[in-house]
Amino acid sequence: MSPSLRTEDLTIRFGGHAAVNGVTCAFRPGELTVIVGPNGAGKTTWFNLVSGQLAPTAGRIFKGEADITRLSPSARAKAGIGRAFQLTNLFPKLSVLENVRLAVQAREGIGPRLFRPASSFPRLAEEAREHLARTRLSDVADYPAAALPHGDQRKLEVALLMAMQPDIYMFDEPTAGMSVDEAPVILELIAEIKRDRSKTILLVEHKMDVVRALADRIVVLHNGELIADGLPDAVMALPLVREIYLGIGAEEAA
């Protein structure tokens, strides 16, 4: 199958420092790739380049056959690149349900100026409620979004992403700061998205059990460079990757 997303020689320099350095890789529908690497490896920066928050110093990004390197973040979102953001796209005073409904509405191309109470868009509200049920947020549907505790806010990010129905799902440490009983909800949702074989999923995640459960493939970034790319068992057995993981293990134990 031809790639749904591809970066070619993607590079960004901050001053003299190449945070992402010549990264060439391609991703296919039905594939979940876990991106690993030590802190500062360039994982989030690579995500920012793909979703358009940063412009590369060199290299190109393709969504299918289309060169999206120069598109704005919102144009990329419309093109099907879905990134879970920490609440930047949120209306803090509106309810959780209204936020998700507006995301559904935006996907349908109905502008925000047509904002009306949920009752005037029963179908959109119904879909929004489904996203809340899947993310286990039904009980807090009427809370102002800003009033949610951290774990629920992270679930709301995933609900907003699901409302976009992107082709490419990008998750950057989606369970960071979540309690042990909340994290499985997110992971089960990612597994559920994965069952739809038309989607491409990119996941930055360190937790070994998560990587084992979900990864079809692992890409390793180190000092901004792609140093390994392959099947999970093969990549995890590489000496440098083992070293990185021992390092992270030690950090988490500290």
Ligand X SMILES: Nc1ncnc2c1ncn2[C@@H]1O[C@H](COP(=O)(O)OP(=O)(O)O)[C@@H](O)[C@H]1O
- For ligand X, the binding residues (CB under 6 A) are 14, 19, 37, 39-45
Site for Mg ion in 182-201 (CB under 5 A): none
Contact residues for 96 (Cβ-Cβ < 8 A; gap 6+): 132, 137, 140, 141, 142, 143, 144, 145, 148, 152, 156, 159
For the record, the structure tokens of 91 come out as 């209306």
Rounded-to-integer distance, Cα 224 and Cα 180, Å: 31
Choice between 17 and 212, CB closer to ligand X? 17
In the complex, least distance from residue 150 CB atom to ligand X, rounded to whole angstroms: 19
Which of the listed partners (Mg ion, ligand X, none) does 153 bind, with a CB threshold of 5 to 8 Å by partner kind?
none
Which of the listed partners (Mg ion, ligand X, none) does 175 bind, with a CB threshold of 5 to 8 Å by partner kind?
none
In the complex, least distance from residue 205 CB atom to Mg ion, rounded to whole angstroms: 11
Rounded-to-integer distance, Cα 6 and Cα 206, Å: 23
In the complex, least distance from residue 236 CB atom to Mg ion, rounded to whole angstroms: 20
In the complex, least distance from residue 146 CB atom to Mg ion, rounded to whole angstroms: 24
Choice between 18 and 236, CB closer to ligand X? 18
Contact residues for 116 (Cβ-Cβ < 8 A; gap 6+): none
Choice between 125 and 201, CB closer to Mg ion? 201
In the complex, least distance from residue 208 CB atom to ligand X, rounded to whole angstroms: 17
In the complex, least distance from residue 48 CB atom to ligand X, rounded to whole angstroms: 7
Closest C-alpha among 167, 144, 168 to residue 156? 144
Block residue for tokens 């393709």:
62
Choice between 45 and 153, CB closer to ligand X? 45
Choice between 42 and 52, CB closer to ligand X? 42
Angle between helices 122-134 and 96-107 (to 10 degrees): 120
x/- site string to Mg ion, residues 44 to 63, per CB under 5 A?
A: x-------------------
Q: What are phi and psi of 75, to 5 degrees?
A: -65, -35
Which of the listed partners (ligand X, Mg ion, none) does 133 bind, with a CB threshold of 5 to 8 Å by partner kind?
none
Residue nearest to Mg ion (CB): 44
Distances (CA, A) of 9 to 12, 20, 21, 37, 42: 10, 9, 7, 18, 14
**For residues 36 and 241, is the Cβ–Cβ distance under 8 A?**
yes
Choice between 44 and 135, CB closer to ligand X? 44
Given the rule CB under 5 A, which residues bind Mg ion?
43-44
